[in-house]
Amino acid sequence: MFSQDQPPQQLNSLTTLNFALLRLDPSISGIALSDMQTTGANVPIFDFVIGADATTLYNGIKRGELIRILQPALAARVNTHSITLTYDTHGDKHFPGGPPGTKFTAGKTVVNPVLETLIRAQIGRIRRDANGRSQTYYLSERPNQYTNGESFAIQIDYTASPEGITYHGYPRDVRVYVLSRTLGGVAIAA
């Protein structure tokens, strides 16, 4: 977004947007993340959306109009905003050469990128379900080329603030292929 100044100044955060809204005529007291009514959104995602929007503020713009402009992009960004994924070394026992336990047929450098791709596809669902709380999830999947014919699961520990995911996967006989709060449990909402 851009301020109404001449020349317009780029707004790249909720803080800069709210400062610019106060200088409008009539002024708008500000917008909060909660005004957006977008489940799973957080301030860094909202800041990104504000910085990416091409709207220029103008005197007389209404609060509701700003919300209608930003809300669709914010909802879409919940699904795609980057998140840091960190491998949990607890999963080492599931790779060749690690302690006893069920094993993937290839090492971490081969398997973990596959697991991360599966996790990234679920980011929006995780953010919406967690809705600002830290939460553990289990993504159970059908066998792949690294599981020796066995299905597998990925434990996903989502931390809301600062946002991040710690994960590890392991071959395991699961018969329900879902993203759930419990292994093999009821799927969370889409």
What pLDDT is recorded for position 9? Answer: 95
Query: Does 179 have pLDDT greater than 80?
Result: yes
- When pLDDT is cut at 50, 70 and 90, the band that residue 184 belongs to is confident
Q: Distance between CA 73 and CA 49 in Å, rounded?
A: 6
Question: Does an H or E element contain 170, and which?
Answer: strand 164-171
What pLDDT is recorded for position 153? Answer: 96
Q: What angle do CA 82, 86, 92 make, to 5 degrees?
A: 150
For 134-147, what is each residue's pLDDT tens digit?
A: 999 999 999 999 99
- When pLDDT is cut at 50, 70 and 90, the band that residue 68 belongs to is very high
Q: How far is CA 2 from CA 34, 41, 45, 52, 81, in A?
A: 22, 22, 18, 10, 22
Single pTM value for the model: 0.86
**Residue 123: other Cβ atoms inside 10 A:** 20
Q: What are phi and psi of 33, to 5 degrees?
A: -55, -40
What pLDDT is recorded for position 101? Answer: 75
Tokens of 150: 């066995």
What pLDDT is recorded for position 174? Answer: 86
What pLDDT is recorded for position 100? Answer: 76
